[in-house]
Amino acid sequence: MPVSVIVTAGGTTADFQNLLSGLRPTLGLRDEVVCVLPPQRHDLAVKARTQRWLTVVDETPPEHAARWSAGLAATTNPVVVLLDGDTVLTPHWLEPIAAAFDDPTVVAAGPRCHRSLGPQRVRLPPEAAAGIPVFKAYARQWRQDHRGLTDVDRLGPVCVAVRREALERAGGPTLDMPYAELREQGRLVLVESALIAHLGGRQCALRPAPPADAPLLSASLIVKDEEAVIATCLNVLRAVADEIVVYDTGSTDRTREIAREMGARVIDGYWDDHFGDARNRSLAHCRGRWALTVDADEVVGGDPKALRQQLETAGRTLDAFLVHVDSPTGAGSVSVWSPRLFRAAEYRYSGRLHEQVTHRITGEVPQNERTETLSLAHSGYLGATVATKDKVRRNHRLAALAKSDGPEALYNFARAERDAGDPAGAIDACRSGLAANPEAFIRVGLLSILIRCCAETGRFPEANEALAELRTAAREQVTTDQSEIVVRTAEGNHERVLELLRGIPENAFNDLGVEAGRRRLRPFEIISLRATGRPAEAAELLRAELRAGRLVLPLGDIAKVLEGAGSDVAELARLIPEHAVREVLYATRPEAPPLAEAVVEALWERFPGDPQLFGVVVWLAGRLPVNSAIRWSGRMREQGLARYCPLLALAAATDRSARDRALAAAAALELFGDQAALPPLSEALALVPDDQSRAVLKELRALAPGVASAISSV
Do residues 102 and 1 make contact, with C-beta atoms less than 8 angstroms apart? yes
Predicted local distance difference test score (pLDDT) of residue 543? 97
Q: Which amino acid is residue 469, in one-letter code? A: E
Radius of gyration over alpha carbons of the chain, in Å?
32
Please spell the DSSP secondary structure of 450-519, one letter per residue: HHHHHHHTT-HHHHHHHHHHHHHH-SSHHHHHHHHHHHHHHHT-HHHHHHHHHTS-SS-B-TTSBB-STT
Contacts of 301 (CB under 8 A, 6+ apart): 236, 374, 375, 376, 377
Q: What is the fold of 390-520?
A: 1.25.40
Looking at domain 3-198, its CATH architecture is Alpha-Beta Complex (3.90)
Predicted local distance difference test score (pLDDT) of residue 362? 92
Parts of the chain belonging to CATH 3.90.550.10: 3-198, 217-382
Q: Which amino acid is residue 98, in one-letter code? A: A
Predicted local distance difference test score (pLDDT) of residue 583? 85
pLDDT tens digits, 463-492: 999 999 999 999 999 999 999 999 999 999
Predicted local distance difference test score (pLDDT) of residue 384? 47
Predicted local distance difference test score (pLDDT) of residue 1? 83
**Residues in the chain with pLDDT < 70?**
329-333, 381-389, 714
Pick the CATH number of 217-382 from 3.30.465.10, 3.90.550.10, 3.40.50.1000, 3.10.20.740: 3.90.550.10
**pTM higher than 0.85 for the full model?**
no
Q: Identify the CA nearest to 391 among candidates 419, 352, 371.
A: 419
Distance CA 343, CA 12 (A): 23
Phi then psi for residue 196, to 5 deg, are -130, 175
Centre a 10 Å sphere on the Cβ of residue 308 and count the other Cβ atoms it contains. 17
Q: Identify the CA nearest to 588 among candidates 551, 562, 642, 548.
A: 551
Strands (E), 243-399: 243-248, 265-268, 290-293, 298-302, 320-329, 332-343, 347-350, 356-359, 368-378
